[in-house]
């Protein structure tokens, strides 16, 4: 009889526990919105991060990656995360500069000469970006650079003076201003029209990455590529602050660790993609030329001009980035 009563009592307790445990153990599912296609190396890196997080948390946190603007358009993702319409998102930092001016530092041209420079800039920039995002109810997870912007030309370039009168592709205010300062004639060519513009010979030079050069078949009219590393645009991954706060501490720790791994992996992957794309340019007849002393000096002077103007535009807070950056570089 006692054994029977104990068994019934134990069964009742187990039954009660069964009603409680699923809620306690239920997986948290986040959606992460990005505008880039599934085959892009940034998106592949996010998918790997999501797998790492799920494994580290034992399935307690799952992150669903929604690529190619399927959840929100790229330019709407930051607001959607801030407003809690989606838990997490990815955006190119330069697109956030209107709301977070310091996010525009990595798109100031001719101040970074290598991936090491770009990573140092990000280390200095990061705490300021984190503070700005925290004020807007968000948390920064990680950032990964795109391959750097190089200079294509139909003829060899020994210095900026050789660009005078050449038709240079422009796709925003910055690139139009660069063209003007170089003495070139800016020609508005959006990304969607670049392949056609090259085929028709409507431009003589352009600033874009080796990756874009391969995608747009730059060899249709361009003959030279200079690895000037004009700037390293970064993609920023961030999360809604309330969604972060709602996680168990163990899940937060696992997510932070996975993001650190993803950031390191993403930067390495970016460098690999850049090198592979540069080799592809060579295979298709484009001469990858070293930057001459005169061209390098001219570009450095342009970078100083742009950075001073950016500091004036953004205000004293910009000094918190550029002063330590130039001191350490």
Residue 101 lies inside a defined structural domain of this protein:
no
Same domain, 62 and 38: yes
| Structural domains in the chain (count) | 2
- As a whole number of angstroms, the distance between CA 29 and CA 172 comes to 38
Same domain, 41 and 187: no
Q: What's the confidence (pLDDT) of residue 25?
A: 58
Q: Is pLDDT above 90 for 5?
A: no
Same domain, 40 and 76: yes
Residue 203 lies inside a defined structural domain of this protein:
yes
pTM given for the model:
0.87
Same domain, 157 and 287: yes
Q: Is pLDDT above 80 for 199?
A: yes
> Who wins on pLDDT, 75 or 15?
75
Strands (E), 37-171: 61-66, 88-92, 138-145, 149-153, 167-170
**In this structure, are residues 75 and 276 in contact, taking their beta carbons and an 8 Å threshold?**
no
Same domain, 294 and 217: yes
* Least confident interval from 65-69, 108-112, 189-193, 284-288: 189-193
Same domain, 251 and 209: no
Same domain, 141 and 212: no
- Per-residue pLDDT reduced to its tens digit, 45-58: 999 999 999 999 99
Q: What's the confidence (pLDDT) of residue 192?
A: 83
Position of tokens 């946190």?
A: 61
Position of tokens 């970064």?
A: 234
Residue 64 lies inside a defined structural domain of this protein:
yes
Same domain, 205 and 305: yes
Residue 172 lies inside a defined structural domain of this protein:
yes
Residue 209 lies inside a defined structural domain of this protein:
yes
The domain of 311 spans 149-230+280-328
Same domain, 121 and 246: yes
Percentage of residues of the chain with pLDDT beyond 70: 92
Residue 102 lies inside a defined structural domain of this protein:
no
Confidence of residue 106 (pLDDT cuts 50, 70, 90): confident
Q: What's the confidence (pLDDT) of residue 178?
A: 93
CATH number of 225's domain: 3.40.190.170
For 189, the token pair is 């060519």
Query: What's the full length of the chain, in residues?
Result: 329
């Amino acid at each position: 009889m006692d054994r029977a009563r104990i068994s019934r009592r134990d069964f009742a307790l187990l039954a009660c526990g069964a009603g409680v445990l699923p809620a306690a153990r239920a997986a948290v599912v986040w959606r992460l919105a990005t505008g880039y296609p599934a085959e892009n190396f940034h998106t592949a890196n996010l998918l790997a991060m999501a797998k790492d997080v799920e494994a580290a948390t034992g399935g307690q946190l799952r992150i669903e990656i929604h690529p190619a603007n399927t959840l929100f358009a790229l330019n709407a993702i930051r607001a959607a995360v801030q407003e809690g319409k989606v838990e997490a998102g990815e955006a190119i930092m330069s697109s956030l500069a209107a709301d977070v001016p310091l996010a525009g530092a990595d798109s100031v041209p001719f101040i970074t000469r290598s991936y090491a420079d770009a990573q140092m800039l990000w280390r200095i920039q990061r705490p300021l970006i984190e503070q700005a995002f925290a004020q807007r109810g968000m948390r920064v997870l990680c950032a990964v650079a795109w391959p750097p912007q190089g200079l294509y030309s139909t003829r060899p370039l020994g210095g900026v003076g050789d660009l005078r009168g050449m038709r240079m592709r422009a796709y925003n205010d910055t690139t139009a201003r660069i063209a003007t300062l170089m003495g070139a004639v800016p020609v508005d060519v959006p990304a969607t029209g670049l392949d056609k513009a090259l085929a028709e010979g409507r431009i003589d030079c352009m600033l874009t990455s080796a990756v874009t050069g391969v995608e747009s078949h730059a060899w249709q009219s361009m003959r030279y590529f200079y690895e000037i590393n004009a700037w390293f645009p970064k993609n920023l991954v961030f999360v809604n602050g309330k969604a972060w706060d709602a996680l168990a501490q163990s899940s937060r720790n696992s997510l932070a660790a996975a993001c650190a791994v993803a950031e390191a992996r993403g930067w390495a992957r970016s460098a690999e993609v850049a090198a592979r794309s540069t080799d592809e340019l060579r295979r298709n007849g484009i001469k990858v030329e070293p930057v001459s002393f005169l061209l390098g000096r001219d570009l450095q002077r342009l970078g100083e001009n742009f950075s001073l103007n950016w500091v004036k535009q953004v205000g004293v807070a910009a000094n918190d980035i550029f002063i330590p950056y130039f001191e350490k570089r």
